[in-house]
């Protein structure tokens, strides 16, 4: 019963461990690079408009052409007018007016010119006049040739002579010349395909003639692009127009200009007596309503027809052709929608309409069935609608609702590898309906969430102007939907920000951001949209600044939703980027000082955003606009960043720090060059002696703030770890005040850094002279150059090399310039205090000195004097991935089947736990000397650590890490720790055990920590990636290299996500790996000569036990204030503490076991002032390990002996030899480790062998 309870308890704990994981955010699993969101060319290169229309009607009523034999009865209606019902002249005029009115429904603003029964000169005069007035816009030529012969095979259409006694041929070649380009031609005549085909040949001939004319040397304008002209023909070659008396004679024109009438008539003709009874062709003209009113029956039919023809074209045509024909020109789009209907109707009468560009056949597209259904439902209630006077009394068609349902089904079941949903154009049309608009926007948002490909599809279908117009809506229920849509659109195509500024759409997002009743997620999207609007867009910055964007963003900085804080800060940084007015406005609001608080935010992305914004704040002024007040602010920001961020736990934040520092280096380049020159000289860098000799005397003169007091000795003092850059926030800079040269001090800030919660940090610029400040910033850069994370170190190295190159090959101009020291404060110049409001006008402040010569930051007057970055990161662009990429599966989902531990998880959990329990229970009867694993490690082992759950042993030598499977007896993985310099690995930790995201943390004696992924690979899965670095940081910066001993020690607490750090110092530091920042520093009040040599903690309780080099053992309670954390200390040991361990590792534990190098082991009860038990082996110790659950401890020595003891002090066994008949003596022991759950002891010896001992089965 006890065993089953133990199994259940441990199993529950493992389930909890699976939930609590760290370092599995996107910033750890992918590189910080901008996503690849190349927007497709959805935006039209140029919008065109058909501004002129030529209606050429060759009817010659009532004479029929000689080459056509008409049937009796025959189709007679032209433009829905019977030409025989009135005198011929009036009939021709009425037909022309009717045709013009039909065209005016689609383009009412065009200039229409009719030419009834024209001559060649009439056509020429008409075409040249319209082209002259249209200029570069499109002209439409509509040709009705029902009263003339068919076009000839030579490419000629027919007109008349003056007396109408002859048919005169008109060559398409000549017509091209008169019409020019761009143009559109409509041929309503028999044999139309011949004209379309020859038109293209004549176009090539024209272009060839233009090229020959250009090659002859005569300067001429570029030729018109005749081949880009659009043509629509009524029928194919050798085809005659339909003569069915139930159809109009100009059935092709009727389809193009009056599609609803033609569609209804054709439907009735095709379905006579089948479904609809009592409806005749006469009822076609009686459908109530207007085409433009979607609430009426006629308007709804037209609306549905537009949606269906758009959908057919969208799903049939190539994207670029769809854009050209259906989105570039309103009249062309209408004609081509109606042309699809003409294809369907005329093919039923053995005519195949033609076009150029050629369209694929669409007459059998399945969407026509949906049109027939909608038409039937509308016509079915037509008799009832005609009996009422209310045009809105009909029942609306369910077409759009059904299509939205189809779209939703695709979203539920579809996939991006399938064809895109065919309903996208219909969703666009539904946005026009207030009834269906919310649902349409919601479904559209779900589609956009699938990724950039979906956004590009939506933009290419033409939805942009619709959602832009919707920003004028005041409906609050649409705000979340529209903000989401626009965030997706701008994330993929930021160029849309110009439209938002031009149409005042940005105001919509300012309203959303200021609306506290909106959820934080939607305000985050609004902040992102505004951040895109202001980025590198001066007009967007100007209007947003006028719209009070900065105060709104400053208000959001205190929100509990971290993405909102992040994007509010990024939006601020982008607003004042290269925008001096915005910087001054921000200074009046103390925006930069408010950003300081976010440098300690628990979310690394927010901290990175704050560093980014402070960097753009510094670079927001041009070089010549930098006043004394501005310089003082720059310096305060610089020192604040150096002290708060240099040793931030997230590499992402430190990379942003390097980028921010480059602006200060560029702005105050001369000062940094002087500091760097001194540094390189002291570091014996290979610099040109001539350059150093020639520059030192001229720059480091007594008149400057940096003088000869910076000797080699002081430079080394500056670079020492206890005083150098990136020192912990609790360290004071008093040393700098004494070491730095005497310079003119600035006025201290009334809003010092210490006032925002960082005590004893740099308080105003006054605590450092300018020379000391430049030294500190330079040392910060040097520190970052040796950062344990390669990406940070590489960026810093680029900047160091940049400065080094300037020092080596600097121009004579730079050598002669004086270093910029702190400006004085004469009585005749105003003094501004950092943190106060800036001057109302720049002119009242101290003017900056104008240089006579140019250098890097002082360019020509007509060029931008803003700084160009030397290095950049893509953090901000990467942050936008949230709005770009589809929702990713969780890490566990992605790794569930390919977990590195997948091969080990096959072992039954319960059986394993029962076996472990049985092992621990048999400790009292069996010896721990069964050699279950022995192998030679690639290097002498220094640290051993078992995986908490699996039989995997992690072994670290000085610079490499190896993982062994002690059951299968093979090496799982091996990698180099990439140590810097001569540093060595001093401790290990397993992060996220029992999860697919199990990592190994390594700590080195230089204070650095590195965490590696893909380390527990299965030998049966060779496709696994090699170990890679997730993150690295400097856990402590007060390690003295001269006193390195135990190195940096770690104790990992999975439940609290805390890494307890100590070693070679007197301070215990707690790091939150979820937030990647130091959360607590616990002083141990030890002697200044003693350092921490052993540390242990457990997540179940608040206790931390620490051993010291002088023999002290102290117990810390992290719940207490810093000056009261030590709740118990013992001084019974007299030598170096090797190991200190909490027994049982539970909330109720009170027992502690410690061992020292002299061999003494003591058991302590934290409730008592003295030890409760002493065990003194007969040899010195070099290593010690404790099994908390089995109450065992093992000791190792240089005497080649391993002793295993009970916690009570009794000996279990002693190990001296390897197994075998002639087993050799084990080498001196360097490290020991117990498996946390199984009774397994690992020992590492100086001969590089790793041996694992289990309970003897003999």
pTM for the full predicted model: 0.83
| CB-CB contact of 1119 with 1147 (8 Å) | no
Per-residue model confidence (pLDDT) at position 1175? 86
pLDDT at 711 > cutoff 80: no
DSSP for 892-947 reads HHHHSSS-TTTTTTTS-HHHHHHHHHHHHHGGGTS-S-EEEEEEE-SS---EEEE-
Q: What is the pLDDT of residues 605-632, one digit of tens each?
A: 999 999 999 999 999 987 766 888 999 9
Q: Which residue has the tokens 């005519």?
A: 351
CA distance 727 to 1007: 13
> Parallel, antiparallel, or unpaired: how do β-strands 50-57 and 138-144 relate?
parallel
924 band by pLDDT with thresholds 50, 70 and 90: low
1024 band by pLDDT with thresholds 50, 70 and 90: low
Q: How far is residue 313 from each of residues 130, 330, 998, measured CA to CA in Å?
A: 30, 15, 52
Per-residue model confidence (pLDDT) at position 215? 63
| CB-CB contact of 1117 with 1125 (8 Å) | yes
The arithmetic mean of pLDDT across residues 500-521, rounded, is: 94
Per-residue model confidence (pLDDT) at position 276? 64
Per-residue model confidence (pLDDT) at position 683? 75
The two tokens of residue 800 are 């160091």
CB neighbour list of residue 470: distance below 8 Å, 6 or more residues apart: 431, 437, 478, 482
Give the three-state DSSP class for 446.
Answer: helix
* pLDDT > 90 fraction of the chain, expressed in percent and rounded: 53
Per-residue model confidence (pLDDT) at position 415? 66
Per-residue model confidence (pLDDT) at position 857? 37
Per-residue model confidence (pLDDT) at position 216? 59
Q: What is the pLDDT of residues 1111-1158, one digit of tens each?
A: 999 999 999 887 889 999 999 998 999 999 988 755 566 889 999 999
| CB-CB contact of 353 with 346 (8 Å) | yes
CA distance 1203 to 1195: 5
Per-residue model confidence (pLDDT) at position 765? 41
CA distance 773 to 637: 11
Q: What is the pLDDT of residues 955-1010, one digit of tens each?
A: 999 999 999 999 988 899 999 999 988 889 999 999 999 888 999 999 998 899 99
CA distance 653 to 642: 12
The arithmetic mean of pLDDT across residues 20-48, rounded, is: 82
Q: What is the pLDDT of residues 239-270, one digit of tens each?
A: 999 999 989 999 999 999 999 999 999 988 88
The arithmetic mean of pLDDT across residues 514-529, rounded, is: 95
* pLDDT > 70 fraction of the chain, expressed in percent and rounded: 80
Higher pLDDT, 129 or 857: 129
Per-residue model confidence (pLDDT) at position 217? 55
The arithmetic mean of pLDDT across residues 790-807, rounded, is: 93
pLDDT at 891 > cutoff 80: no
pLDDT at 1187 > cutoff 70: yes
Burial category of 808 from C-beta neighbours within 10 Å (exposed 0-12, middle 13-18, buried 19 and up):
middle
CA distance 107 to 330: 7
What phi-psi label fits residue 220: left (phi over 0), alpha (psi between -120 and 50 degrees) or beta?
A: beta
CA distance 657 to 672: 17
CB neighbour list of residue 1232: distance below 8 Å, 6 or more residues apart: 944, 1183, 1184, 1185, 1194, 1195, 1196, 1202, 1241, 1242, 1243, 1244
710 band by pLDDT with thresholds 50, 70 and 90: very low
Q: How far is residue 1057 from each of residues 19, 789, 1069, 1079, measured CA to CA in Å?
A: 12, 21, 14, 11
The arithmetic mean of pLDDT across residues 697-726, rounded, is: 34
The arithmetic mean of pLDDT across residues 809-838, rounded, is: 42
Q: Which residues pair with 987 in a beta bridge?
A: 1003
| CB-CB contact of 1227 with 1218 (8 Å) | no
Higher pLDDT, 734 or 1043: 1043
Residue among 1150, 1176, 1212, 1215 nearest 920 (CA): 1212
Per-residue model confidence (pLDDT) at position 978? 92
pLDDT at 879 > cutoff 90: yes
The two tokens of residue 1037 are 């910066």
Per-residue model confidence (pLDDT) at position 913? 54
CA distance 1065 to 1077: 19
Residue among 983, 1030, 977 nearest 1004 (CA): 983
DSSP for 966-1022 reads TTTTEEEEEEE----TT--EEEEEEESTTSSS-EEEEEETTSEEEEEES-S--TT-T
CB neighbour list of residue 253: distance below 8 Å, 6 or more residues apart: 79, 99, 142, 144, 186, 188
CB neighbour list of residue 129: distance below 8 Å, 6 or more residues apart: 113
pLDDT at 99 > cutoff 70: yes
CA distance 941 to 932: 18
141 band by pLDDT with thresholds 50, 70 and 90: very high
CA distance 1024 to 1026: 7
The arithmetic mean of pLDDT across residues 1043-1060, rounded, is: 87
Per-residue model confidence (pLDDT) at position 704? 33
CA distance 1000 to 1013: 7
359-373, 1076-1090, 1236-1250: which range is least confident on average? 1076-1090
Q: What is the DSSP letter of 1172?
A: E
- The overall average pLDDT reported for the chain is 81
pLDDT at 407 > cutoff 60: yes
pLDDT at 13 > cutoff 50: no
Q: What is the DSSP letter of 1225?
A: B
The arithmetic mean of pLDDT across residues 1165-1182, rounded, is: 86
Question: How wide is the angle at C-alpha 64 spanned by C-alphas 63 and 69, nearest 5°?
Answer: 155
Per-residue model confidence (pLDDT) at position 273? 54
Q: What is the pLDDT of residues 646-691, one digit of tens each?
A: 999 999 999 999 999 999 999 988 889 989 988 888 875 444 444 4
Per-residue model confidence (pLDDT) at position 15? 43
State the Rg of the chain over Cα. Answer: 42
Per-residue model confidence (pLDDT) at position 268? 87
CA distance 1242 to 967: 13
CA distance 424 to 21: 41
The arithmetic mean of pLDDT across residues 87-106, rounded, is: 94
CA distance 1202 to 215: 97
Q: What is the pLDDT of residues 531-544, one digit of tens each?
A: 999 999 999 999 99
**Cα first-last separation, the chain:** 28
Q: What is the DSSP letter of 887?
A: P
Per-residue model confidence (pLDDT) at position 1044? 59
């Amino acid at each position: 019963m006890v065993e089953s309870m133990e199994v259940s308890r441990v199993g529950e704990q493992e389930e909890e461990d699976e939930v609590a994981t760290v370092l599995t955010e996107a910033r750890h699993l992918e590189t910080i690079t901008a996503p690849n969101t190349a927007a497709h060319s959805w935006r039209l290169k140029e919008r065109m408009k058909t501004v002129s229309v030529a209606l050429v009607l060759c009817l010659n009523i009532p004479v029929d052409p000689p080459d056509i034999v008409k049937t009796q009865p025959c189709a007679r209606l032209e433009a829905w007018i019977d030409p025989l019902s009135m005198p011929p002249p009036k009939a021709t005029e009425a037909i022309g007016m009717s045709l013009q009115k039909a065209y005016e429904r689609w383009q009412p603003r065009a200039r229409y010119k009719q030419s009834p029964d024209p001559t060649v000169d009439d056509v020429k005069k008409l075409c040249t006049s319209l082209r002259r007035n249209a200029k570069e816009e499109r002209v439409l030529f509509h040709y009705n040739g029902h009263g003339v012969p068919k076009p000839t095979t030579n490419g000629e259409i027919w007109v008349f002579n003056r007396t109408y006694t002859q048919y005169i041929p008109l060559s398409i070649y000549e017509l091209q010349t008169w019409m020019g380009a761009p143009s559109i031609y409509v041929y309503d005549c028999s044999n139309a395909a011949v004209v379309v085909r020859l038109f293209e040949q004549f176009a090539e001939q024209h272009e060839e003639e233009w090229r020959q004319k250009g090659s002859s040397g005569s300067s001429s304008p570029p030729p018109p692009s005749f081949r880009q002209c659009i043509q629509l023909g009524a029928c194919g070659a050798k085809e005659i127009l339909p003569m069915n008396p139930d159809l109009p004679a100009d059935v092709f024109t009727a389809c193009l200009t009056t599609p609803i009438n033609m569609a209804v008539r054709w439907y009735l003709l095709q379905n006579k007596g089948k479904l609809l009874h009592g409806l005749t062709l006469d009822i076609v003209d009686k459908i109530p309503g207007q085409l433009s009113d979607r609430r009426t029956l006629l308007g709804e039919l037209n609306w549905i027809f537009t949606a269906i023809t758009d959908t057919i074209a969208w799903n049939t045509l190539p994207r670029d052709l769809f854009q050209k024909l259906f989105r570039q020109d309103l009249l062309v789009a209408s004609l081509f929608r109606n042309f699809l209907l003409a294809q369907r109707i005329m093919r039923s009468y053995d005519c195949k309409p033609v076009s150029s560009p050629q369209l694929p056949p669409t007459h059998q597209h399945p969407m026509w069935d949906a049109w027939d259904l909608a038409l039937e439902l509308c016509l079915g209630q037509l008799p009832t609608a005609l009996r009422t006077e209310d045009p809105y009394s009909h029942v609306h068609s369910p077409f759009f609702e059904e299509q939205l349902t189809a779209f939703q089904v695709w979203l539920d079941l579809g996939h991006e590898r399938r064809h895109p949903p065919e309903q996208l154009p219909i969703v666009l049309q539904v946005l026009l309906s207030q009834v269906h608009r919310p649902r349409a926007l919601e479904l559209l948002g779900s589609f956009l969430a699938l990724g950039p490909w979906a956004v590009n599809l939506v933009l290419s279908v033409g939805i942009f102007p619709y959602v832009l117009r919707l920003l004028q809506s005041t409906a609050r229920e649409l705000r979340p939907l529209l903000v989401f849509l626009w965030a997706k659109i701008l994330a993929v195509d930021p160029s849309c920000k110009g439209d938002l500024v031009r149409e005042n759409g940005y105001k919509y997002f300012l309203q959303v951001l200021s609306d506290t009743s909106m959820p934080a997620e939607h305000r985050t999207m609004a902040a992102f949209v505004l951040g895109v609007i202001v980025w590198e867009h001066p007009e967007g910055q100007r209007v947003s600044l006028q719209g009070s964007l900065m105060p709104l963003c400053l208000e959001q900085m205190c929100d509990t939703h971290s993405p909102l804080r992040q994007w509010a800060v990024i939006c601020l940084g982008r607003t004042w980027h290269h925008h001096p007015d915005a910087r001054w406005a921000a200074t009046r609001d103390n925006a930069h000082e408010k950003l300081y608080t976010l440098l300690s935010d628990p979310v690394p992305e927010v901290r990175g955003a704050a560093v980014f914004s402070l960097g753009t704040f510094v670079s927001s002024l041009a070089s010549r606009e930098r006043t004394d007040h501005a310089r003082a602010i720059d310096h305060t920001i610089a020192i604040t960043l150096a002290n708060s961020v240099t040793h931030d736990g997230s590499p992402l934040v430190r990379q942003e720090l390097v980028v921010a520092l480059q602006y200060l280096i560029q702005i105050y380049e001369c000062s940094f060059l002087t500091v760097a020159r001194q540094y390189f000289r002291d570091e014996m860098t290979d610099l040109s002696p001539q350059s150093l000799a020639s520059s030192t005397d001229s720059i480091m003169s007594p008149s400057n703030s940096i003088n000869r007091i910076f000797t080699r000795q002081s430079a080394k003092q500056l670079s020492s770890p206890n005083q150098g850059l990136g020192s912990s926030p609790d360290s004071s800079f008093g040393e700098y005040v004494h070491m730095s040269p005497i310079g003119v001090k600035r006025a201290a800030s009334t809003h010092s850094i210490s006032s925002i919660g960082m005590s004893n940090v740099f308080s105003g610029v006054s605590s450092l002279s300018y020379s000391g400040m430049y030294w500190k910033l330079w040392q910060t850069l040097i520190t970052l150059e040796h950062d344990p994370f390669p990406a940070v170190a590489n960026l810093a190295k680029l900047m160091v090399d940049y400065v080094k190159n300037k020092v080596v090959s600097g121009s004579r101009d730079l050598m002669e310039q004086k270093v910029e020291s702190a400006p004085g404060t004469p009585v005749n110049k105003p003094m501004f205090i950092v943190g106060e409001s800036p001057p109302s006008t720049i002119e009242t402040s101290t003017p900056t000195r104008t240089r006579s010569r140019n250098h890097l930051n002082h360019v020509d007057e007509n060029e931008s004097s803003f700084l160009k970055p030397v290095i950049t990161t893509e953090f901000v662009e990467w942050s936008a991935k949230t709005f770009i990429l589809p929702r990713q599966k969780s890490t566990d989902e992605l790794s569930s089947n390919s977990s590195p531990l997948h091969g080990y998880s096959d072992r039954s959990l319960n059986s394993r736990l029962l076996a472990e329990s049985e092992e621990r229970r048999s400790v009292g009867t069996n010896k721990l000397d069964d050699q279950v694993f022995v192998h030679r490690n690639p290097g002498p082992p220094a640290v051993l650590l078992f995986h908490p759950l699996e039989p995997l042993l992690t072994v670290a030598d000085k610079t490499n890490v190896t993982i062994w499977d002690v059951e299968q007896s093979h090496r799982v993985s091996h990698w180099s720790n990439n140590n810097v310099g001569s540093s060595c690995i001093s401790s290990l930790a397993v992060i996220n055990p029992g999860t697919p995201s199990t990592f190994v943390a390594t700590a080195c004696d230089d204070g650095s920590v590195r965490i590696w992924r893909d380390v527990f690979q299965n030998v049966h899965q060779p496709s696994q990636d090699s170990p890679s670095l997730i993150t690295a940081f400097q856990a402590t910066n007060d390690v003295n290299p001269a006193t390195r001993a135990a190195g940096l020690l770690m104790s990992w607490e999975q439940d609290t996500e805390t890494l307890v750090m100590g070693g070679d110092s007197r301070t215990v530091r707690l790091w939150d790996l979820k937030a990647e920042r130091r959360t607590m520093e616990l002083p141990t009040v030890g002697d200044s000569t003693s350092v921490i040599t052993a540390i242990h903690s457990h997540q179940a309780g608040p206790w931390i036990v620490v051993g010291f080099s002088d023999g002290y053992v102290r117990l810390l309670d992290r719940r207490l204030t810093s000056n009261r954390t030590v709740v118990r200390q013992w001084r019974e040991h007299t030598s170096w503490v090797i190991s200190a361990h909490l027994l049982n590792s539970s909330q109720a534990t009170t027992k502690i076991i410690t061992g020292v190098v002299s061999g003494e082991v003591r058991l302590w009860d934290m409730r008592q002032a003295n030890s409760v038990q002493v065990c003194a082996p007969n040899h010195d110790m070099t290593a010690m390990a404790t099994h908390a659950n089995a109450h065992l401890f093992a000791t190792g020595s240089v005497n080649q002996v391993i002793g295993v003891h009970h916690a009570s002090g009794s000996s279990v066994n002693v190990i001296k030899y390897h197994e075998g008949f002639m087993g050799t003596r084990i080498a001196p022991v360097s490290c020991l480790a117990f498996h946390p759950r199984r009774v397994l002891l690992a020992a590492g010896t100086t001969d590089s062998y790793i041996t694992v001992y289990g309970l003897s089965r003999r």
